[in-house]
Amino acid sequence: MGESHVVIIPDVLFQILWALTFLSFPHKIAGIRKDVGLPQKLVCRNTVQGRYLLADDNGYVCTALSVYPWTCCCPETGERFSCQGCNLVSKCCNSYEYCVSCCLNPSMTDEDAVLKLKIAKPVTAGTYPSAFDFCVGRCRHNSASVVHENAYVSDFHHCYSLQTNSSRVIEPNFERRLAGIDIVIGKQGESCNSACMSKGKSCVSNKLSVINRCELLEKYMRCKGSCFASMGADQPAEVADNAPKDMYPGACLYSQTDSMLSCDGSHKQTRRLCPCA
């Protein structure tokens, strides 16, 4: 019979063989990747009510059919902050959506300034939370080119400019310019000639331009619907509470054109602020 041999595997060689055997079988490795995150969903605010066009808060204008349904954003393919159809001097546009887009341009609107503006006259009224809120409201409600009965002087009636006579700061020499003048509030539909005559006085026509300011209107009248630029011989004035809604009942109006001011002017839906002596 042959002699049998026993092979003794050294410990080091055994460990190597065990490692190779372990690695030859597939095994599951679990882990968490820290470099992968869920993309943040971008959601826009837009002007919503446009029948054909929308303007979003990024400053883009698009058709109502092309807006992204999940984000409400316009495609970023057109011009941002477009002022198409806008007069950059008067800051008025013939389209509401392009008025909002143009208004959002930082070179057109000082965001720090508009965020300090009060939305309305009452003490409890807040300020605009964003430039988009200012532009949306300003382009919709501004009456810079309005003639009474909601008729417009031109097609450029969506305006985003700040009111030029609405600094709310009375000039130091302002009171001296009204020395000897009594401020009289006329009745609804009454001219300043009639209002002053009822007090035994006469209307001083060259002082109409002096009181043609929002801060004076707000001092003597409620102006609960804010103070708007307009055009008319019956201004400065306050719109009567019973006026049609499209005339902004309770709002005050100052004229952008001093040459139109007249002591004879009147309108059935306003009460005049009159300088009498």
CA distance 55 to 80: 10
pTM of the model: 0.49
Give residue 121's pLDDT: 62
Give residue 243's pLDDT: 87
Residue 74: pLDDT over 70: yes
- With b for 16 or more beta-carbon neighbours within 10 A and e for fewer, the 5-21 pattern comes to eeeeeeeeeeeeeeeee
Residues 6 or more apart in contact with residue 269 via CB below 8 angstroms: 148, 188, 189, 239, 240, 243, 244, 247
Q: Which of 143-157, 196-210, 221-235, 247-261 has the lowest mean pLDDT?
A: 143-157
Residue 201: pLDDT over 90: yes
In this prediction, residues 44-53 reach a mean pLDDT of 87
Q: What is the helix (H) or strand (E) element at residue 92, kind and residue range? A: strand 92-93
In this prediction, residues 181-198 reach a mean pLDDT of 96
Give residue 171's pLDDT: 54
Other Cβ atoms less than 10 A from the Cβ of 174: the count is 14
Give residue 79's pLDDT: 93
CA distance 223 to 253: 9
Q: pLDDT for 77-98, tens place per residue? A: 889 999 999 877 667 888 999 9
Q: If you search the block for the tokens 């200012």, which residue do you land on?
A: 134
Average pLDDT value for the chain:
80
CA distance 190 to 76: 53
Residue 39: pLDDT over 60: no
Q: pLDDT for 219-260, tens place per residue? A: 899 887 578 777 788 999 999 999 887 677 888 888 877 888
Which of 109-113, 116-120, 238-242 is the most confident on average? 238-242
Residue 17: pLDDT over 80: no
CA distance 274 to 98: 38
Give residue 266's pLDDT: 94
How large a percentage of the chain has pLDDT more than 90? 39
